[in-house]
Chains A and B, each alone.
Chain A
């Protein structure tokens, strides 16, 4: 450990590199899924989606990502166990980053829809259980994380189902759906603004040192919702019906109204993804940095330094710009089934679920939540066809990802132990 403290800058560089590598994988893999729906529904171009993702991923990571980072850092493992051997924690977290990063690259290359969240959680559990001891893992906490992987798609599906049903009832089932859409859509925009502001205020601003009561944060959230809705109305005033397109498909003009709404839900989706998934990459990094900063003492509360979030955010942005954009172009050509009115329901349902989970500190999988949301829209008979075989592929990838991440991280853990000394 002494050697490490002497060379703490070097260790941080190595850890930062591994964190960046992992974030790159997250950017390439997850973001394409999170943003691909808007591109697929023709509400955004790939370039616009990338720009929105850059801004809002960063905002989500910085403003609402703290809670999940803390869970990854000390919720999964019992830090007390490492008091005698703090360097094991460093080896382990480093291993977890490398293992998850490598697994992501391998899986992406093979085309398996794996979850970044599952791989990092599997990796942390793996090195701790095998490398250190079974009792070093908070099994109860791990259990609740795993349970949230099942409940979050269900919740997202339920929300999306309710949203699409409300669109059918409030807008499509009327004489003049276009005018109705113009009236109703700002309300959905309000919802987007409200949810995001609320979670940011209640959970996100703690590490900035801003504490708020539930009541005052609700007031602020209402204000945030109103601001977003007002902005939306400005956008909506520029949309006019297109009678020519309506001849072929009666809801063409209505969909153009919803396309505006989708720009907003895309921002929400990027924010949600940033708040949850950036933490996967930077959580282990934060753990390493805190051990080094406290001279090898574990358990001291320390605020996550800004540079760590920056590394995570940069990695995501880099991965998105280099690989994710290409992915999105292919994803975008495939998803035409999601018209803006359905796509918005899926995105808002998923984003709300993810942001709520981020607030409680549960690391969930954004992609799987989105899949649940899309299924919810399908249940409302709103989608031409869904390929259920993909569901089983996704399910298999869940099962495989946990042991794969664990195995890789155990290997790395022993490698570092041999390299730097036990």
Chain B
């Protein structure tokens, strides 16, 4: 017996909350990278392995959520924003988690140590990237408020401001990257060449992490565009 099916059945699953939950998981990956880094600095490879394990698990969870999200978005749904934009947004979000997992994987695999004079600024640099992701999370968390207001007025301006702040954080992270490269350049003659190569790679990837978090904001802007 399913009386009253017409009204209740009219409502599809809202894509907004799953999208937010997905980014929450993604951001947890980025946060896990902070724990991983502190273990690497202490030279505690056992703890580092556990931290990387956690990041990998979270990344798997994010993948699952992404799949579920795609399956629950059939073509017959009438959405407040274009379906293709939502599907792209979830892909863009997912890439942040992948990057975090890559960074941890490479550093653990090569048991990379940070040169002592570089350790502090590297930690700050990573924190900058994590902060960028946190800001992206903040912006994504405004999505339900956006639907409530019908994507209009003050709420749009508020999200625009959040995205501007996100861009600012990413630029600051870029500046940090330039400085760290310069520092490493001064040290590199005294370090094993292969290690230096991979250090540059990690520096690049942390920059990518911030970059990808910024792209989440960019795609959110696409949703706002009329």
CB of B78 within 8 A of CB of A335, answer no
Partner of B150, one of A111, A250, A381, A393: A381
The count of chain B contact residues (Cβ–Cβ below 8 Å) is 34
Question: Is B148 a contact partner of A382 (Cβ separation < 8 A)?
Answer: yes
Given A168-B153, A367-B6, A371-B6 in contact, is the A251-B148 Cβ separation under 8 Å? yes
The verdict on B191 contacting chain A, using a C-beta distance below 8 Å, is no
- Interfacial chain A residues near B13, Cβ < 8 Å: 384-385
Is A113 in contact with B154, judged by CB distance below 8 angstroms?
A: no
Q: Contact between A330 and B149 (Cβ–Cβ < 8 Å)?
A: no
With contacts A172-B148, A173-B154, A339-B148 taken as known, whether A384 is within 8 angstroms of B15 at the C-beta atoms is: yes
Interface-centre pick from B10, B79, B147 (highest chain A CB count, 10 A)? B10
**Chain A residues whose CB sits within 8 angstroms of the CB of B5 once the complex forms:** 111-113, 390
Per the bound structure, the CA–CA distance linking A251 and B150 in Å amounts to: 13
Q: Are A337 and B3 in contact (CB under 8 A)?
A: no
Contact of A390 among B1, B6, B144, B145 (CB under 8 A): B6
CB distance A33 to B7 under 8 Å? Answer: yes
| A374 is an interface residue with CB less than 8 A from chain B | yes
CB contacts (< 8 Å) of B2 on chain A: these are 108, 111, 330
Q: How far is the CA of A381 from the CA of B146 in the complex (A)?
A: 9
Given contacts A36-B4, A394-B6, contact A386 B12 (CB under 8 A): yes
In the complex, per-residue mask of B58-98: 1 if CB is within 8 Å of any chain A CB, else 0: 00000000000000000011111100000000000000000
Does B4 contact A251, Cβ atoms closer than 8 Å? no
Can you show 11 pairs from A to B with CB atoms below 8 A apart?
A: A32-B4, A331-B8, A334-B11, A341-B148, A375-B78, A380-B150, A385-B80, A386-B10, A388-B78, A391-B10, A397-B6
Q: Are A386 and B78 in contact (CB under 8 A)?
A: yes
CB of A43 closer than 8 Å to a CB of B: no
Q: Are B10 and A173 in contact (CB under 8 A)?
A: no
Across the interface, which residues of B come within 8 angstroms of A44, CB to CB?
A: none
A397 and B3 alpha carbons, distance in the complex (Å): 13
Question: Which single residue of chain A is at the shortest CB-CB distance from B75?
Answer: A388
Given the contacts A367-B6, A394-B6, A382 and B11 also touching, CB distance less than 8 Å: no
5 residue pairs, one from A and one from B, having the closest CB atoms: A384-B14, A113-B6, A173-B153, A381-B80, A385-B12
Q: Is the CB of B145 within 8 A of A249?
A: yes
A249-270, CB < 8 A from B: 249-251
Which residues of chain B are within 8 angstroms of A386 by Cβ–Cβ distance?
10-12, 77-78
User: In the assembled complex, which residues on chain B have CB atoms less than 8 Å from the CB atom of A172?
Assistant: 148-149, 153, 155
Chain B residues within 8 Å of A375, by CB: 78
B150 touches A165 (CB 8 A): yes
In the bound complex, do residue A337 and residue B4 qualify as a contact, i.e. CB atoms below 8 Å apart? no
Contacts of A169 in B (CB 8 A): 153
Question: How far is it, in angstroms, between the C-alpha of A385 and the C-alpha of B152 when the chains are bound?
Answer: 18
The reply to whether B11 and A387 contact each other, CB–CB distance below 8 Å, is: yes
* B18 nearest CB neighbor, chain A only: A384
Give residues of chain B (1-45) contacting chain A, Cβ–Cβ below 8 Å.
Answer: 1-17
- Docked Cα-Cα span, A215 to B9, in Å, equals 43
B7, B76, B78 — which one has the most chain A CB atoms within 10 A of its CB?
B7
Of the candidates B7, B17, B153, which one forms a contact with A374 in the assembled complex, judged by CB atoms under 8 Å apart?
B7
B151: Cβ under 8 A from any A Cβ: yes
Q: Within 8 Å CB of B10, what residues of A?
A: 371, 374, 386-387, 390-391
Minimum CB distance partner of B86 in chain A = A385
**Shortest distance between the CB of A5 and any CB in chain B (Å):** 39
| A227 located at the interface, meaning its Cβ lies under 8 Å from any Cβ of chain B in the complex | no
Contact B16 A384 (CB under 8 A): yes
Q: Which A residues lie within 8 Å of B81 (CB)?
A: 381
> What separation, in Å, do the CA atoms of A82 and B151 have in the docked complex?
59
Q: How far is the CA of A108 from the CA of B2 in the complex (A)?
A: 6
- Which residues of chain B have C-beta atoms less than 8 A from A390's C-beta? 5-6, 9-10
B147 to chain A minimum Cβ distance, whole angstroms, is 6
Report the separation of the CA atoms of residues A40 and B9 in the bound assembly, to the nearest whole angstrom: 12
Asked whether A28 is an interface residue with its Cβ less than 8 Å from the other chain, the reply is: yes
A384:B80 contact, CB within 8 angstroms:
yes
Contact flag A387-B12 (CB < 8 Å), given A168-B150, A380-B150: yes
Query: Across the interface, do B148 and A32 meet the contact criterion of CB distance under 8 Å?
Result: no
Chain B: minimal CB distance from A161 (Å)? 10
Question: Known contacts A381-B147, A386-B78: does B15 contact A323 (CB below 8 Å)?
Answer: no
